[in-house]
Amino acid sequence: MRLERSVAYFAPAILGLLGILGLLATACGNDDDSASYPPTTESTVDHSEDTAMEGADDGHDHDHDHDHATLMEVDYEPVPTIELRTHLDPASGVNLEVITTGFTLAPERASTDPVDGEGHFHIYVDGVKLRRLYAHWAHVDLKAPGDYEIRVEMSANNHAVLAVNGVKLDATAVVTIPGAAEDYEPMELDDSVGTTIELEVAGGKPVDGVQRHRVGAGDAVTIIVNGDTTDELHIHGYDLVVPFAPGQPGTITFEANIPGIFEVETHHHGDLVMELQVG
């Protein structure tokens, strides 16, 4: 009887503690390389350090964050700069390319004291904060056709927005997502007018050393890899995998439709084989 009374006495406290732990688990953010808009149950809007969202109404004008975000004046040289380029993804949404000067990404020091010239980015879609960004490329999976305003702002380690004379250091672009899939005109790849890159790999490493191969944006690129071990070639940025084995070359042809410089490495050995420069 004494044990039963003890359990009954502490049960409410235990249940309350479990509820708090559940809320804390739910509050954890998501910093994947791709995010959906509008947010789904798998990809939620990040409000973790966005005080601007507090007290917001349910209207359609979400631009209230422009007036309330914490600013941190840049008082050092060189003053960072930011540029945003957008590239429609043939599969869905848009790929963002963020170009900066005088700024170093420091994800390992997020939510710590600010350091001159370093930090991370925050992505907004139509004035609503989507998530943080710790890289110069990101994919945003825009769900419906139409026009979207995408804004990327520079933030210090402590999430304050960098500014000069009260003006935020950010970049904005308007993206138009076409209608139904039938509105797209897929490109037919013609190997005869594209670029062919042949690679020889030994022990996971390139026999001729790591080289950079440049191709034009929109070109058809064919990569042929021969190797003395069983492995896979991983083309970063395009997320393509090319298996190969002794006496069984790997071959892949794709459209180089994402500008930038991408590493190509052996998956199992983890060695850099080449760099692909598009554009």
Is the pLDDT higher at 189 or at 107? 107
| Span 82-138, pLDDT tens digits | 999 999 877 778 889 999 999 999 999 999 999 999 999 999 999 998 889 999 998
Mean pLDDT, residues 184-213: 75
pLDDT surpassing 90 at residue 34: no
Domain that holds residue 46: 34-183
Which phi and psi (to 5°) does residue 25 adopt? -65, -40
Residue 75 pLDDT: 95
Question: Are residue 223 and residue 178 in the same domain, yes or no?
Answer: no
Question: Are residue 207 and residue 170 in the same domain, yes or no?
Answer: no
Residue 35 pLDDT: 65
The CATH number of the domain holding residue 222 is 2.60.40.420
| Domain stop point among 163, 183, 203 | 183
pLDDT surpassing 50 at residue 50: no
Question: Are residue 83 and residue 155 in the same domain, yes or no?
Answer: yes
Residue 17 pLDDT: 52
Residue 267 pLDDT: 82
Question: Are residue 214 and residue 112 in the same domain, yes or no?
Answer: no
Pair of tokens at residue 1: 């009887």
Question: Are residue 41 and residue 179 in the same domain, yes or no?
Answer: yes
Residue 223 pLDDT: 93
| Domain stop point among 141, 160, 183 | 183
Question: Are residue 179 and residue 198 in the same domain, yes or no?
Answer: no
Question: Are residue 150 and residue 127 in the same domain, yes or no?
Answer: yes
Mean pLDDT, residues 177-195: 54
pLDDT surpassing 60 at residue 163: yes
The CATH number of the domain holding residue 52 is 2.60.40.10
| 39: confidence class by pLDDT, cuts 50, 70, 90 | low
Question: Are residue 196 and residue 170 in the same domain, yes or no?
Answer: no
Report CA-CA distances (Å) from 60 to 18, 42, 110, 144, 195. 36, 23, 31, 16, 48
Kindly state the helix (H) or strand (E) to which residue 13 belongs, with its residue range.
Answer: helix 2-26
Task: Report whether 198 contacts 242 (CB < 8 A).
Answer: no
Task: Report whether 218 contacts 187 (CB < 8 A).
Answer: yes
* 80 DSSP 8-state letter: P
Residue 144 pLDDT: 84
**pTM of the predicted protein model:** 0.48
Question: Are residue 168 and residue 39 in the same domain, yes or no?
Answer: yes
Question: How many structural domains is the chain composed of?
Answer: 2
Least confident range from 35-39, 95-99, 106-110, 174-178: namely: 35-39
Residue 56 pLDDT: 30
| Domain stop point among 159, 183, 207 | 183
Beta bridge partners, 162, equal: 72
Question: Are residue 152 and residue 72 in the same domain, yes or no?
Answer: yes
Is 60 domain-assigned? yes
Question: Are residue 96 and residue 168 in the same domain, yes or no?
Answer: yes
